[in-house]
Structure 1
C-alpha cells in the first residue's frame, strides 16, 4: 500500500460528517476518472421489496434530473445493475449490459432504464455490491466514468487501480454506517432524540419527564412527533429506526 493511499484511508476514517465524507469520496473517485456516483443502502430489504424509498440512504453527485428519474420516479426498481447488486457481492463492469442487450436478455422496463442512462451520458462504469451482514440490509454503489470515457477505458483503469478503488469504496460504505445520515424529512429535533434515547434506555414516561424536566404530556408529544417524523406507528419502531440511521446517542445533533 502506498503512503498516499494509507494517509487517505486515515483521513476518511476520521471524518465525522457524512456530507464531508461523501464530498471527499467523490473527489477521490473523480481522480480515477469516475466523476458521478450514486450510493444506496437499505436496512429494510425483503424478498419482494427494497423497503420504503423514504428510508433509503441515497448519496449522489449526479444531476438533480438524474436523481429524480432514477430514484424518486422509481427507475432503480428495473435497473439491470441494481438487480445484479441484489443478487451478488463484489464488483461488476457495465460491459455485462452490452452482453445482456446483445443476447436480448433485457425486458422492456430494463431497456427503458438503459435509454434513460444514455440520455444522461451514464454509459460506462462499475457497480460495487457490498457484503451484507443481515438479510434485511443491502448496500451498493455505481461509479460512472467520465462522458468521454468508453467502457474499455473504464476497464483499463480498473485493471490498474481496481483494488484500490474497491478498498476506498468498502471503507466509505462502512464509515457511512457509523455516521448520522440525514434522511428526507426524517430529521429528529434534539428533544425528540433525547426522549427516544431515554426510552431506549428503558426509562418510563414518569422517569423521562423527571429527567428532562418536562411534563409527561410534553414527553408524549415529543415521542408522537418523533413517530410521525420517522413515519412509524410505535415508539419501539421509532427507537429502532433512529438507531439504524445513527440518529441516537450521537455526540453532535
Structure 2
C-alpha cells in the first residue's frame, strides 16, 4: 500500500482533489468506475432528500442521472445490502440471489440496467456507521475485460489495502465542504449560525457583529430557507453536517 497515496489523500483540500486522486488509484487495481454515496440524514425508510446526499462518481452522466436523479438506487440490490450491512460484499451475491429467485422485479430491472451500461462485476464496501443517521458506501466496478472471478481474485490479493484506502477516503470526505444542489450559505449566514452553535442569543450576536437583532434574525431566516429546514437548531446541525460551519462546542 502506498503511504504517499494516503498522505496525498489526507492532504487534499477539496472534494474534487480527493476524488481525482481516488479515481486514479483505484484504476491501478482494475476498478475503472466508482460510485460513492454518503448521507447524514438517513431515516428508517430513506437516505434523506437527494439534494442532501454526497454523491461522487466517474460514471457517465447518463448513468448518474438514471441511478441517482431518477432514483434507481432505491431499488438497487447492492444499495439495499449496503444499507443493511457493514463490510465488503462481492457482486457474486447477485448471482446467488437471482438463482434463488428472491429479487423483486424492480431489483431485477436495476441489474439489467447496470448490465446495459457495462456494469457487471464489482465490489461494494459499506462503511461503519458513525451514527444511526449516517451511512456511506462505495461501489467499485471492474474494467469491462474483467469478470466477477477476476474481480474477486483482485480482492483476494489486495483487498486489505483497498479497504484501508477507501476507508481513509470516506473519513476524509466527512471533513471537507461539499457542494449541494441546495444554495450554499453566505459568509454572514455561516457566521450567525456558528454563534448560535456557541450558545449566543440573537441579541448577543447583534452586539458581537454590530448589527441589529432584526438583521441577525433575517440572516437566520435566509439560512433556514437555504438549508430547507424549519428551525434554527436544525439549520445549525445541517450546516455543521455539511461542513459549512464549525464551532468549538458540538
Fold shared by both chains (TM-score > 0.5): yes
Question: Higher mean Cα deviation, 21-30 or 209-218?
Answer: 209-218
Structure 2 Cα separation of the partners of residues 214 and 40 of structure 1: 40
State the match for 1:187 in structure 2: 184
SS for the counterpart of 1:185 is: coil
Instruction: Give 1:214 deviation, angstroms.
Output: 2.5
State the match for 1:204 in structure 2: 201
Spell out the pairing of 1:198-237 with structure 2 (5 A cutoff).
198-237=195-234
State the match for 2:27 in structure 1: 30
Instruction: Give 1:42 deviation, angstroms.
Output: 1.3
Instruction: Give 1:238 deviation, angstroms.
Output: 0.2
State the match for 1:174 in structure 2: 171
Deviations along 1:74-117, one digit per CA (max 9) or x if unpaired, are: 11111000111111111111111111112212110001111111
Instruction: Give 1:218 deviation, angstroms.
Output: 2.2
Structure 2 Cα separation of the partners of residues 21 and 183 of structure 1: 17
Structure 1 Cα separation of the partners of residues 87 and 212 of structure 2: 52
SS for the counterpart of 2:162 is: helix
Deviations along 1:136-191, one digit per CA (max 9) or x if unpaired, are: 21111001111222111211211111111101000111111111122212411111
Instruction: Give 1:13 deviation, angstroms.
Output: 1.2
Runs of 4+ aligned residues of structure 1 deviating over 6 Å after TM superposition are: none
Question: Alpha carbon RMSD of aligned pairs, Å?
Answer: 1.4
Instruction: Give 1:43 deviation, angstroms.
Output: 1.5
Deviations along 1:6-43, one digit per CA (max 9) or x if unpaired, are: 12112211212111111111111111111111111111
SS for the counterpart of 1:126 is: strand
How many residue pairs are counted as aligned between the two chains? 247
SS for the counterpart of 2:109 is: helix
* Unpaired segments ≥5 residues, structure 1: none
TM-score, L = length of structure 2: 0.94
Structure 1 Cα separation of the partners of residues 152 and 216 of structure 2: 56
State the match for 1:99 in structure 2: 96
State the match for 2:122 in structure 1: 125
Question: Higher mean Cα deviation, 70-79 or 180-189?
Answer: 180-189
* Unpaired segments ≥5 residues, structure 2: none
Question: Higher mean Cα deviation, 209-218 or 14-23?
Answer: 209-218
Structure 2 Cα separation of the partners of residues 115 and 98 of structure 1: 12
